[in-house]
Amino acid sequence: MSAAAALQPAPIETPPPGEAREVVPGLRWMRFPLPFAPHHVNVWLIEDEAGWTAVDAGVANDETRGHWQAALGGPAFGGRALSGLLVTHFHPDHAGLMGWLCGAHGVTPMMTRIEWLQARSLWFDTGAEMLDHQAAFAHAAGAPETYCAFLRARGPLYVRAVAPPPRAFASIADGQRLRIGGREWHVITGQGHAPDMACLHCPEAGVLIAADQILPRITPYVGLHAGEPMADPLGAFLASLDRFRALPEETLVLPSHGEPFRGLHARLDALAAHHEERLALLEAACAAPATAHGLLPALFRRPLDDRNLGFGLGETLAHLRRLEAQGRVERLPAADGTILWRRR
């Protein structure tokens, strides 16, 4: 049986924006559209004594605000309040309306400390120096100068999709147990896609709110970025997948993108195998020295436009750093400031 066949979609109707569907008693599913791929994000509502604790907030735009207002005033919330907010990680589709919701409802967001600091720092880091730093990182990866100019002209993206974040938060951490609505939720963090993303497992309900760590159809983006150029995000991602192998196979997985499903262990195996295959392809492509930009065809079948080139370079570099950490490739600094990669 293939890994895809082993996944079992849960028989729950996908909710339209502004509405909710029950997953299990005391847990509801909402979905909001996104103006970028993968074009939607899931938000989860956990019933508690005072109302509902939401897991994630959606991107900051007028459309999502409107859907939130419809949900808050309609059957999705059933006349109960937004009493809490847990944000899984700093990305705009998850943290975008954190500040707006917290300010309007008087709640303090729960978030891991690293994700909170990342959100705060990115929201305020908007100057020309930041853009020059990103362009220099792209140049070192072998990107053409036209793309480096595009980065400078495009300006900062994070602040456009995230409302001003609140000044205070409640820190959560891996291994912590949260009591929400009479149930105990275990915090399990994942790395690679984000620095310290919070997932929530409820043994009593048999569900895992998996954020972007475990998705049913697509692999989470794992990229190297300019702020931590010597990191090994793919190594961190693969290692953190093992944290979820102790959970029961029949666990109902609630991803941030896609539909709820069962078949957790099969999906973990498929994610690991996918990256091992891509590492082998990239290692073979490094027979002759090449930049990360020159190695893009090893991982991507189609040319990437300027809007997607940054993701492609980040993912290629993450795989190269994993190969380097394993001693399978080496970096060769070139006189023009680029970095070449060669198989050992």
- DSSP code string of 117-136: HHHHHHHH--SHHHHHHHHH
Q: Give this prediction's pTM.
A: 0.95
* pLDDT tens digits for range 78-94: 999 999 999 999 999 99
Give just the sign of the alpha carbon dihedral 3, 46, 256, 91.
Answer: negative
What is the structure's pLDDT at 201?
98
* pLDDT tens digits for range 213-230: 999 999 999 999 999 999
d(CA 112, CA 190): 11
Q: Where are the beta strands (DSSP E) in the chain?
A: 8-9, 21-24, 27-33, 40-47, 51-55, 81-86, 110-112, 170-172, 177-180, 183-190, 197-202, 207-211, 252-255, 261-262, 329-333, 339-343
What is the structure's pLDDT at 7?
86
Could you tell me if residue 16 is inside a domain? yes
| Domain encompassing residue 279 | 3-125+156-285
CATH of the domain at 117: 3.60.15.10
Residues contacting 248, CB < 8 A, separation 6+: 206, 264
Identify the DSSP state of 91.
Answer: S
Residues of the chain with pLDDT under 70: 1-5
Amino acid identity, residue 113?
Answer: R
Could you tell me if residue 96 is inside a domain? yes
Could you tell me if residue 335 is inside a domain? no
Could you tell me if residue 85 is inside a domain? yes
Could you tell me if residue 336 is inside a domain? no
User: Which class for 147: exposed (0-12), middle (13-18), buried (19 or more C-beta within 10 A)?
Assistant: buried
Could you tell me if residue 253 is inside a domain? yes
Could you tell me if residue 337 is inside a domain? no
CA 298 to chain centre: 24
Q: Helix/strand/coil (H, E, C) string of 205-263?
A: CCEEEEECCCCCCCCCCCCCCCCCCCCCHHHHHHHHHHHHCCCCCCCEEEECCCCCEEC
Residue 316 phi/psi, 5° resolution?
-65, -45
Total domain count, the chain = 1
Could you tell me if residue 62 is inside a domain? yes
